[in-house]
Structures are given as structure tokens and as C-alpha cells.
């Protein structure tokens, strides 16, 4: 169940926007690591569209996009990702033909033929929700508690990666960031290969979520690697 406030603009939006802008990630060129996240999410949920969104003052910018080619941004009042940042749990609409978000104009989603939406927030270390990782479909479908948990975990990994990117760039270590990106990309590529195998053998995750323990362990291992890299910046002289 969704628990949205009465306004699309949260009371702490000025502080949230300051947090977003410190990451210097708005309007930047695509980076392979974030493309890997949305590709994996679309594959896991067997859906055609996945996005990493960043919610700015007037627009929602898509840092990564699979399934909506050529769409780089939309107006904030037109995007369900604008509503996803308003609650800490997954925002989900299983059939947009029958239910809609009162805070968002329904016309963009309808014109694109979108029926299903689920988005988990990119919650940063300071507590700000700067955007979301979402999966979108053109047919109505249910979402299980296990899928909500999985989407939240993926969004958490994407958020940690954005934080790690900020740290490397802030310390003028862009070359090191490229090396780490390649390491993380390989882990996500391996994860995608496992998902393909499990899907071919078992079907969709929603039908066989109990069989996905190896995948979940790999995601946890990826989280530990991200956290290990981040601890490097906790050392004296690095903060």
C-alpha cells in the first residue's frame, strides 16, 4: 500500500536538492555501471523498462534508461519517480488503467501505454531521497513482498554506487573510479548471467523467488564490496 503525502513537493525539498546537486551527476553522460543496474533490474522483473531517475526541482533526469530510448528527462509533475521519493518503501501501481497517483499527471504514462510501475528510492547517507530505481511494464501485474525487497536492495546498491562515484571524483581520482566501475560491472554481468540461467530453468522471479538465494547472496556480496571501497574515504586525510 502506498502512503503518499498531500503534496508532490516535500517540506525538506530545498535540503534534498542541495544533497542531489552535491553529487554532480545531473545532466552527465551515461556511465556503464548505472546502465548495468537498470539492465539487471529489467531482467530480474521480466519487464521491458527500468530507469535510474534523479528528481531535480523542475525535471526528472534519467541517469540510466533501458526500454525508453531517447527519453532523457520529463517534467517533475509528469513522472511517478517524483512521487516515489516521497515515501521510503517501494511505490507500486499494479494497473495504471484502474489506479493512478493523484499527485502526478496521468497523461504521459497513458500515452506511452504504461500499466505497471514500481520504484524504490535512492536514499543517500544524509537521509535524502534524490531519485529512484524503477521497473515499468506495459501490462498489469502484481508485485510480491519479495520483489519489493529485491527492488529496494537494488536501489540501495545504486545509491551506494552514486556515493562512491562522488567520493572518487571529489578526491580527483577519476582514473581509480574507472577501474572500480569495471570491477563492479563485471560483478553485475556475472549476476545477469546467473539470472538468465535461473529464469530459463525456473521461470520468473515472482513465481520462484525462493530459488533465488544464490542471486541474493551475490547482491549482498556486491554491497559489501561497495562498502569496503567507501571505508577508504573514512581514513584520516581522505574525508
pLDDT digits (tens, 9 = 90+) for 6-65: 999 999 999 999 999 999 999 999 999 999 999 999 988 999 999 999 999 999 999 999
Is residue 4 a part of any domain in this protein?
no
Q: Mean pLDDT score of the chain, rounded to an integer?
A: 91
How many beta carbons lie within 10 A of that of residue 102, not counting itself? 9
DSSP of 4-19: --S-SS-TTHHHHHHH
**Of 31-40, 41-50, 142-151, 187-196, the least confident:** 187-196
Q: Is residue 182 part of a domain?
A: yes
Confidence band (pLDDT; 50, 70, 90) for 111? confident
Reported as a pLDDT band with limits 50, 70 and 90, residue 203 is: low
Distance CA 163, CA 168 (A): 9
Cα–Cα dist 114/136, whole Å: 7
Burial class (CB in 10 A: 0-12, 13-18, 19+), 67: middle
Contacts of 145 (CB under 8 A, 6+ apart): none
Please state the pTM of the whole predicted model: 0.93
| Overall domain count for the chain | 1
- Distance separating alpha carbons of residues 209 and 194, to the nearest angstrom: 14
| 197 within domain boundaries | yes
CATH code for the domain of 208: 3.30.450.40
186 found inside a domain? yes
Residue 150, CB-side half-sphere exposure with 13 Å CA sphere = 25
User: pLDDT at position 211, please?
Assistant: 60
Confidence at residue 239, expressed as pLDDT on a 0 to 100 scale: 42
Closest CA to 177 of 217, 232, 124: 232
By CB atoms closer than 10 A (0-12, 13-18, 19+), residue 140 is: middle
Look at residue 113 in the predicted model and tell me its pLDDT. 92
Parent domain of 49: 13-234
Q: How is residue 221 written as a grid cell?
A: 556480496
Question: Considering the domain boundaries, does residue 134 fall inside one?
Answer: yes
pLDDT over 90, % of the chain = 74
Percent of the chain with pLDDT over 70: 93
| 42 Cα distance to chain centroid | 11
Bridge partners (DSSP) of residue 61 are 54, 73
State residue 3's pLDDT score: 87
Q: Which of 54-68, 149-163, 193-207 has the lowest mean pLDDT?
A: 193-207
Evaluate if residue 238 carries a pLDDT over 60.
no
Q: Phi then psi for 91, rounded to 5 degrees?
A: -90, 125
Render pLDDT for 47-61 as a digit per residue (tens, 0 to 9). 999 999 999 999 999
> What is d(CA 182, CA 175) in angstroms, rounded to the nearest whole number?
11
Measured between alpha carbons, how far is 91 from 102 in angstroms, rounded to an integer? 13
Question: b/e string for 186-218 if b means 16 or more Cβ within 10 A?
Answer: ebbeebbeebeebbeeeeebbeebeebeebeeb
In a domain, 201, yes or no: yes
Domain assignment of residue 104, yes or no: yes
Q: Look at residue 5 and tell me if it is in a domain.
A: no
DSSP letter assigned to residue 210: G
Amino acid at each position: 500500500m502506498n502512503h503518499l503525502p498531500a503534496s508532490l513537493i516535500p517540506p525538506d525539498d530545498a535540503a534534498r536538492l542541495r544533497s542531489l546537486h552535491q553529487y554532480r551527476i545531473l545532466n552527465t553522460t551515461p556511465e556503464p555501471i548505472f546502465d548495468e543496474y537498470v539492465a539487471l533490474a529489467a531482467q530480474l522483473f521480466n519487464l521491458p523498462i527500468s530507469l535510474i531517475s534523479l528528481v531535480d526541482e523542475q525535471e526528472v533526469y534519467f541517469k540510466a534508461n533501458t526500454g525508453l530510448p531517447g527519453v532523457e528527462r520529463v517534467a517533475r509533475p509528469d513522472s511517478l519517480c517524483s512521487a516515489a521519493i516521497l515515501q521510503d518503501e517501494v511505490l507500486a501501481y499494479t494497473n495504471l488503467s484502474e489506479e493512478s497517483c493523484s499527485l502526478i499527471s496521468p497523461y504521459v504514462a497513458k500515452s506511452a501505454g504504461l500499466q505497471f510501475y514500481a520504484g524504490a528510492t535512492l536514499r543517500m547517507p544524509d537521509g535524502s531521497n534524490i531519485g529512484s530505481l524503477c521497473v515499468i511494464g506495459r501490462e498489469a501485474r502484481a508485485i510480491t513482498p519479495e520483489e519489493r525487497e529485491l527492488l529496494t536492495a537494488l536501489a540501495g546498491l545504486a545509491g551506494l554506487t552514486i556515493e562512491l562515484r562522488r567520493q572518487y571524483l571529489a578526491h580527483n581520482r577519476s582514473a581509480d573510479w574507472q577501474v572500480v566501475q569495471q570491477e563492479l560491472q563485471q560483478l553485475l554481468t556475472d549476476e545477469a548471467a546467473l539470472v538468465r540461467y535461473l529464469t530459463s530453468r525456473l521461470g520468473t522471479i515472482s513465481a520462484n523467488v525462493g530459488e533465488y538465494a544464490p542471486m541474493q547472496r551475490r547482491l549482498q556480496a556486491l554491497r559489501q564490496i561497495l562498502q569496503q571501497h567507501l571505508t577508504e574515504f573514512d581514513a584520516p586525510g581522505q574525508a
